[in-house]
Amino acid sequence: MALAIVQEVKYNKQFFGLLVLFLSAGIMLELVVGSTDFSLWMNAQHTAFGDVFFRFATYLGDGVLVGIIILLLLFVRCRYAFLMLVAMVLNTAVIQWLKHFYNHPRPSLVFQDLSLQYVEGVKLYQHFGFPSGHTAAAFGVYTLLALFSGNKISGWMYGATAILVGLSRIYLMQHFLEDVLLGATIGSGISFLIYLGFRNNKTLQQGWWNRPVTAAFRKK
């Protein structure tokens, strides 16, 4: 298992390099600045462009998009869709359990007495902030997509997209930094383990599992 992990990380070093950089920078910010001050700093950076950009970016980790990606993967290889579905179900179960176990307040509740900038049209939640479900979903999805593609450019793209989703949750005042960091760790970790667990499964490597769903309707 250890050798398999090293091989996959090395082969997809662009994605995992960005992941490690993001988590390392986040931990440093937690230790030096603190999540509360970092949220306030992010809030002070609001611009008209940033409001539109991050409002869009946050949907890249939305459950609806995850469902669409799973459906699209059926037209690539059925096993890709299956692995994504398994990872997302497990991801959601873990995240929801942690959210209800800790029930941490979100920024909109913690900062309710302060005059801050909010993005118009974004519904703010006050409870169940730890960890970030959007971030976990984003890192879960884009980790698997990076592993499926094994492409250098795709690795950069998927890694950057997942990070943008995480940052958007802080910018939109939906989560604190620690919510995002744990979400990223859980999302990427579960997807990576699911991928490794099924990587050498002979059933998924052959037959209709390894073909697009449209193959079932083709004439022999």
CATH topology for 13-212? Vanadium-containing Chloroperoxidase; domain 1 (1.20.144)
Q: What is the pLDDT of residue 10?
A: 81
Structure tokens at 19: 């992941």
Q: Can you give the residue ranges of every domain in the chain?
A: 13-212
With tokens 């937690």, the residue in question is: 30
Q: What is the pLDDT of residue 209?
A: 83
Conformation bin of residue 124: beta by default, left when phi > 0, alpha when psi is -120 to 50: beta
CB atoms within 10 A of CB 2: 6
Residue pair 49/117 in contact (Cβ under 8 Å)? The answer is: no
- Please provide the DSSP assignment of the chain as one string: -HHHHHHHHHHTHHHHHHHHHHHHHHHHHHHHT-HHHHHHHHHHT--HHHHHHHHHHGGGG-HHHHHHHHHHHTTT-HHHHHHHHHHHHHHHHHHHHHHHHH-PPPHHHHTTTS-----TTPPP--S--SS-HHHHHHHHHHHHHHHHH--HHHHHHHHHHHHHHHHHHHHTTS--HHHHHHHHHHHHHHHHHHHHHHTT-TTTTSGGGGS-GGGGGS--
Structure tokens at 104: 């941490």
Q: Which residues of the chain have pLDDT under 70?
A: 1, 216, 218-220
Its pTM stands at 0.94
Give the integer Cα–Cα distance in Å for 115 and 11. Answer: 47
Q: What is the pLDDT of residue 206?
A: 78
Structure tokens at 200: 């050498």
Give the integer Cα–Cα distance in Å for 168 and 161. Answer: 11
Give the integer Cα–Cα distance in Å for 220 and 216. Answer: 9
Q: What is the pLDDT of residue 218?
A: 66
